[in-house]
Amino acid sequence: MTMHDDVCERQALGLIKAFRGIADPRKRQRILDLAERLANDPGSDTAKPGVHQASTAKDRGVE
């Protein structure tokens, strides 16, 4: 595991902990939608050209 992997893992765990602390399901959904939009943003280094992804969990039927 590299230092970058370790940092990413700590960030992911912090994000999960914060997300689980949100009691309102609508707020959780808004955060999920925002995270997915950011990940699919053409300016994001995680977006893959030519791959169609639903922009939100709702679009994929996940709520």
Contact present, 41 and 47 (Cβ < 8 Å): yes
- Per-residue pLDDT tens digits of the chain, which is 63 residues long: 788 899 999 999 999 999 999 999 999 999 999 999 999 998 866 545 444 445 556 665 655
Domain boundaries defined on the chain: 3-40
pTM above 0.95, yes or no: no
- Nearest to residue 38, comparing CAs of 15, 9, 14? 15
Q: How far apart are CA 36 and CA 53, in angstroms?
A: 10
